[in-house]
Amino acid sequence: MSVQRLTIATRRSRLALWQAEHIKARLQALHPKLTVDLLPLSTRGDELIDRRLDEVGGKGLFVKELESAMAEGRADIAVHSMKDVPAELPPGFTLAAVTAREDARDAFVCQRYASLAELPAGAVLGTSSLRRGAQLRERHRGIEVRLLRGNVDTRLAKLDRGEYDAIVLAVAGLVRLGLEPRIRARLSVEESLPAPGQGALGVECLQARADLLALLAPLADDDTARCVRAERAVSRLLGGSCALPLGAYATIGNGRLELQALVASADGARIVRARAEGRDAEALGAVVAQSLREQGADALLLAR
């Protein structure tokens, strides 16, 4: 093995550090002589916590500083939650591995009410996601969906202070941080279709680093990678970013992928949905993206 020491660029949040430590532990289990260091960095996405991501630059705000660290040689790899990775990577970068997926669903977190259906009219529901907000507004017209930014602990603290009646977070993040008891209900994919890549971790590096690509290959989970490729293909073909309320979720059985996706208006007044099956992830993503377009997705995109 040519790599003896490796540095992981990571955001500073508790969840991001957990993710980086998880990949570090897996690498050291595979390669006991490998030394792995962490390089925690602050990103613009973490700093701009009072505005929607779509208003200030999108998902790239969470990864740009990490990519700069790799380009400058300060770090070798970066670990991301795949739902935070833009549909298009900058030239010269690649996803070396997508790991096995945690539960991809969204979580309803609330102290007083056991489910979304129990929320009374006028209840304030917090989320940072246009995707979640649109779907929740469609099904629960009486609630008020309000912006909620910050890391997982910050969001939970705002709920506990009574600033919101309930909040919606990713199941995966709560489970990874040992906060599973805070989950009152796991929302079905029919209630809240996940974001592309939700629940999966991705390891990014420079495309030219053949030594790292070989080192990281054993971390990859082929089924998860196929599903995430299909989901991200929908997002990429629709020009997807967090400026677009878009959900996409794929499952796999007997070698075949089943992919469902949606595009919504931000207020949830109009949502178009598509579903298809196939074996090739990219081709399946293209079929579903085209179906969404035929139902008027482009008009929803232009309305943003």
What is the distance between the alpha carbons of residues 8 and 103, in angstroms, rounded to a whole number? 24
Side chain identity at 82, as an amino acid letter?
Answer: M
84 among known catalytic residues: yes
Q: Which amino acid is at 8?
A: I
- Residue of 46, 50, 76, 84 with catalytic role: 84
Taking the C-alpha atoms of residue 206 and residue 40, their distance in angstroms, rounded to an integer, is 18
Check: CB of residue 230 under 8 Å from CB of residue 282. Answer: yes
Residue 132 class from Cβ within 10 Å (0-12 exposed, 13-18 middle, 19+ buried)?
buried
d(CA 70, CA 60): 15
Token digits for 50?
A: 């009072």
Cα–Cα distance for residue pair 85/78, rounded to 1 Å: 11
CA torsion sign, 229 to 150 to 181 to 8?
positive
Ramachandran quadrant class, 187 (left: phi over 0; alpha: psi -120 to 50; beta: rest): beta
Listed residue (193, 201, 202, 169) closest to 183, CA to CA: 169
Q: Do 130 and 245 form a contact (C-beta atoms < 8 A)?
A: yes
What Cα–Cα distance (Å) separates residue 87 from each residue in 90, 104, 121, 240, 294?
10, 18, 36, 7, 21
Cβ-based burial of 10 (10 A; exposed 0-12, middle 13-18, buried ≥19): buried
Annotated catalytic residues are: 84
